[in-house]
Amino acid sequence: MAVLGKLLSLNIAKAVSVPYGSKVVETGIFKTSSGKPLRLTRTGLVGDQQADTVNHGGPDKAVCVYSADHFAYWEEQWSKPVEAGAFGENFTISGLTEENIHIGDIIRIGEAVVQVSQPRQPCFKLGVKHQIPELSLQVQQSGYTGYYFRVLQEGIVQEGDELIVEKRHEKGISIAEANVLMYENKEDRAGISRLLSVQELADSWQEHFSKRLDKLSAQE
């Protein structure tokens, strides 16, 4: 076991309605620090809320995670300070970036035990939050997407808790590698097959890449 980071901020929000062009959308992306310990359950933090439960939340996406190691990059891009919760994340952490965390890794945080399930796919609501329409694409292209945890053991978590990696997945496929397969190397059948061999990959990603692999095979 190794301590590879800390939980810097524990962020939650209630869903709100915000204007988006000629429409109004519901979103829970305006997350701020709870300032207190919270219970982490199989479906997320007590007190947190997602508006779009199709694309957010659920067992495979119980916790959205973002590393503050990337904040300096975004501060340079935005020319202003970046605060915890800026990317709609529940856990603002130190360390454990997309390059050095793997799908299926198991991590202890406070009383809880979690597992890396998939990269975070940035959506348009990031642009709505920061009034930068192209932000979701910029996040995707930077590779600094963040990722999700599923919860293996419920418990209390709080700011300052260490991130203790209890088990590394034997396949060793990083979040960064999965992002490259999703957005860049879309026809890498060997890479896709290797990713699909990770049973701990979230169901939605399993389904997406299975369909992509079937399509590539049909083109032969």
pLDDT reading at 87 higher than 70:
yes
Beta strands in 13-111 (DSSP E): 16-20, 23-27, 32-33, 38-41, 44-45, 63-67, 91-93, 106-109
Task: Read off the pTM.
Answer: 0.95
pLDDT higher than 80, residue 51: no
Cβ atoms 127, 71 nearer than 8 A: no
Model pLDDT for residues 174-215, shown as the tens digit of each residue: 999 999 999 999 999 999 999 999 999 999 999 999 999 999
The answer, yes or no, to whether residue 57 has pLDDT greater than 80, is no
Residue 53: the pLDDT is: 63
Is 85's pLDDT higher than 70?
Answer: yes
Owner of token pair 């399993």: 206
Question: pLDDT per residue over 4-30, tens digit each?
Answer: 899 999 999 999 998 888 888 899 999
Buried b (16+ CB within 10 A) or exposed e, 16-39: eeeeeeeeebebbbbbeebeeebe
- Per-residue pLDDT tens digits for 140-181: 999 999 999 999 999 999 999 999 999 999 999 999 999 999
Q: 55 pLDDT exceeds 80?
A: no
| Cβ contact 157:7 at 8 Å | yes
What domains appear along the chain, each with residue ranges and CATH number? Answer: 2-170 (2.40.33.20)
pLDDT value of residue 3: 87
Two tokens, residue 87: 């990317």
How many Å apart are CA 212 and CA 220, to the nearest integer? 13
